[in-house]
Chain A
Amino acid sequence: MKFIKYLVVGILFGIVMAKSEAISWYRIQEMFRFQAFHMYGIIGTAVVLGIIGVALIKKFKLRDIGGNTIKFYPKNKSIARYLIGGIIFGLGWALSGACPGPMVVNIGYGFLSLGVVFLFAIIGTYLYGLLRDKLPH
C-alpha cells in the first residue's frame, strides 16, 4: 500500500505528458527545429519553478514525510561523460521522438511501437553497463 502514492503521481505524470502533447515525436522535431515555444515553455516553466522551489527547500531546510531534511547530492564532476553521454542521448531522443518517460506514456496512449523502442532502450542501458569500464567518465 505504501507504493500507491507513487502510482497516483505516475498517473498524473502520464496524463500531463500526453495532454500537453509532450509525448509527440512531432513536438520534439518542432523543438529541435526551434519552430515553436511549446516544449521550451513546458521545460522552462518546470525549471523556473523548480529553481525557486529547490532554493526555498534549502533555505528553510524543509523535511520530507519521513522527517528527514531534504538533501540534494552534487553530481560527480566531469565533462566527458555528460557531454558524450548527452550527445548520444540527444541523437536517440530526436530519432525516436521520445525520452524514456514519454516512451511508456505512449504505450498507454495506444502507440504500442514505442514499447518496442523502450525495450531497445533497456538493451542500450545494458550495453552501457557492459562497456562502462572502457568509457571515459
Chain B
Amino acid sequence: MIDFILAPWPWWFSGLIISSIMFILLFFGKSFGFSANLRTMCSIGGAGKRVSFFDFDWKKQIWNIVFLIGSVIGGYIAYEFLTVGEHPVQISENTIQDLNELGFSKPTTLQPMELFELSALLEWKKLLLLAIGGIFVGFGARYAGGCTSGHAISGISDLQIPSFIAVIGFFIGGLIMTYVFFPMIFPAIL
C-alpha cells in the first residue's frame, strides 16, 4: 500500500480519480473546467470595466478558484509527503532519445531543467518561449471554449461534437509544435 502510494501512480488509477472528480463536481452542481479560472482572474483584476467579455458575475466562480488553490496544495502534498526523493519521470527511451537530439539531457526529475529552472527565466529566449506557451494556452483555451478538462474530459464524456473538434485541434497544434517548431527552436537555444 505504502509502496503503491510512493511510486508513480498508474494511468488507470489516475483516469479513475479524474473521472471521479468530474462526477463529484457534477453532484455539487458544478462542471469541471479549469481554464474558466483564467477568465475569472481577469475579471477579479478589473478587466470587466474595459472588456465586456470579463464583465460577468465572477462570484459564481469562486468555487473554481478554491478548487485551483486546492490543486496547488495537492501538488505540494504530492511532492512533500507522497514522493521519496527526486526521481526521473519514467518516460520511454525513444522520447529521451528524440529529445536528446534536440538538445535536452536525460530527465532527472519531472521537468526539463533546461526550460524550468528559475535561472532560465533570466535568459530572454527561454522566457520568451515560456511566455508564448502560456499566452497560446490561455488564448486558445478561451477561444475554443475550454481546455483539457472542459473539452477532452467533460465535453467528450457528454459526447459533444464541439469537444471532439476542439480535441482534434489540440492534437493538430501539439503535433505542429512538436514536429515542425521544436526542431527549429531547441537545437538553436539549448
Contact = CB atoms under 8 A, between A and B. Distances in A.
Interface in A1-50: 3, 5-33, 35-50
Best-buried of A31, A79, A100 by chain B (most CB within 10 Å): A100
A26 B89 contact: yes
Nearest to B173: A90
Contacts of B8: 19-21
B189 interface: no
A123 B135 CA distance: 6
Interface in A37-89: 37-51, 53-54, 57, 62, 64-66, 68, 70, 72, 74-79, 81-89
Contacts, number: 482
Nearest to B142: A128
Interface majority SS (helix, strand, loop, mixed), chain B: helix
Interface string B95-127: 100110000000100111001111011000001
Given A14-B72, A82-B144, A92 B11 contact: no
B21 A12 contact: yes
A105 B64 CA distance: 14
A30 to B, nearest CB: 4
Given A96-B133, A129-B142, A85 B166 contact: yes
A12 to B, nearest CB: 6
Contact of A47 (B24, B152, B161): B152
Interface of A: 3, 5-33, 35-51, 53-54, 57, 62, 64-66, 68, 70, 72, 74-79, 81-101, 103-114, 116-130, 132, 135
Nearest 10 pairs of A and B residues by beta carbon: A86-B169, A14-B74, A10-B70, A90-B173, A45-B15, A124-B138, A108-B75, A92-B136, A120-B134, A50-B157
